[in-house]
Structure 1
């Protein structure tokens, strides 16, 4: 692939997990990757192996000024970003009552406001070129939630609704938006020191306690393969009719289908009451 035809990827959280897998897949396809991370030394081996294709850039996605600087620098040096992947994030486990105001706001900064700022910085250039792809890494928790994940799922749901509205706005400009909804994948998201736990309240030991145990005990045994996830994302982006949402993993498909069935059943059960609130003709 020539310098002119190679795509330019900007991937946040590129040092591990989906970010790393996507970076490796893009490099294998001959594309160029600007991988960002709070600790970019995690990309040193990839930079060393592919110095003409990979750059490692320090970026804290919650630092707005830094986001603007990185976006401006990438555009100045490369002239464009063909694929933006908003991937940086972390797990947070805690009951809603256990989650502090600071914890909730910090998580929204990481999963919503940071990606929104970076997207907004790059979007005018994609719009002017009438081309580009925006990949927002959500979760099956973007459509459903359960005990211990109220805060985490709230941020992913917000990201998804921003993405859905954005897609409707920018599709006429040739820009694709892809919401990725993974289940449990073998990344470091649940690894010791990576997952964040709010301070425990004994009243939630039975409900949230089970979620805490699941996160602590399942690290390294998740069924999903990040490399296969990266291949699936690239396949979706290349499709003639790409999906808006892409569930990844059999567990995600099962959970989302079950959730949608439950929502439909509840709407049907209460349909008469719901329709009865319209103004009488």
Structure 2
């Protein structure tokens, strides 16, 4: 029998985090589920007391992360998979979004995952293997009106992760950037989605995104359980992809965006290339 893997999943109380935790448990693995409010996981703990434990942690509490990771490794001996999943949505035009709102989102989507990644890497390097799953978004590849702050944080996470993948590959550590489209995770639910104060001048642009989020909860086409299965399949592959778009909406949007970028580059290629110093 194979040795159970040890998963550390943040934002595990709902949505993708809970689905990933459930998939790991069903595969016979052990999950350390991190959440700000762990009571939402009491049912899973009761059903799987030998496979699931919870840790109360806000991933923006950077000062606690090293201690939490050391405690987990001390009890389990290793961490095989880190899933940086904790997050939330935010809607607002650039002009509507305050510095405080933007910084708080970067703390959650970039600085928290970066700190957790730094904390687990010495252990993964020592064991010569592991995987880091970064839950990004289709908004980590492209953006549109109203999602400027959200996409900025996910773009940053993807840039960090792309470099990380190259740095840790020699140690047998995989990095997987997951880019979901619209999934039924509760991300758009009442009290979950955050909104900047609305300005009427952006009613037709960022405002349209605001209305979509306000009315979109429960109608998203994506199934979190199928997303969790796809993530496990990608991690188990001999050649794990760096990026994994999830959902037809994500695949279509990413491919369309790549085509648009390529068209711009080719259209302006001569101007772009003609910027070198002239030879004497």
TM-score, structure 2 length as denominator?
0.98
Distance in 1 separating the partners of 2:197 and 2:71:
40
- Aligned counterparts of 2:125 and 2:70: Cα–Cα separation in 1: 16
Alpha-carbon RMSD across the aligned residues, in angstroms, is 0.8
Residue in 2 that maps onto 1:101: 99
Which of 239, 243, 246 is the equivalent residue of 1:245?
A: 243
Deviation of 1:68 (Å)? 2.0
Distance 2:16 2:146 in 1: 23
Work out the CA distance in 1 between the residues paired with 2:158 and 2:92.
21
Q: What is the aligned partner in structure 2 of residue 217 from structure 1? A: 215
Q: Which residue pairs with 1:126 in the alignment?
A: 124
Please list the CA deviations of residues 113-147 of structure 1 after superposition, one character each: whole Å capped at 9, or x if unmatched.
00000110010110111100000000000010000
**SS class of match (2:240):** coil
Structure 2 unmatched runs, 5+: none
1:72 maps to 2:70:
yes
Equivalent residue of 1:218, what SS? coil
Give 2:89's aligned residue.
91
CA shift, 1:220, in A, is 0.2
Task: Give the aligned partner of residue 136 of structure 1.
Answer: 134
SS at match of 1:234: helix
**How is 1:1-281 mapped onto 2 (pairs within 5 angstroms)?**
1=1, 5-281=3-279
Please report how far the alpha carbon of residue 69 of structure 1 lies from its aligned counterpart in structure 2 after TM superposition: 2.1
Deviation of residue 65 (structure 1)? Answer: 1.6
**Which consecutive aligned stretches of 4+ in structure 1 deviate over 3 angstroms post-superposition?**
none
Contact 1:41 1:56 in 2 (8 A): no
TM-score in terms of structure 1 length = 0.98
Report the Cα distance in structure 2 between the residues aligned to 1:11 and 1:128, rounded to whole angstroms: 21
Per-residue Cα deviation, 1:215-259 (whole angstroms, up to 9, x for no partner): 011100000000000000000000011100000000000000000
- In structure 1, distance between residues paired with 2:59 and 2:209: 27
The 8 Å contact of residues 62 and 110 in structure 1, kept in 2 or not, is answered as: yes
Q: CA deviation at 1:66?
A: 2.1
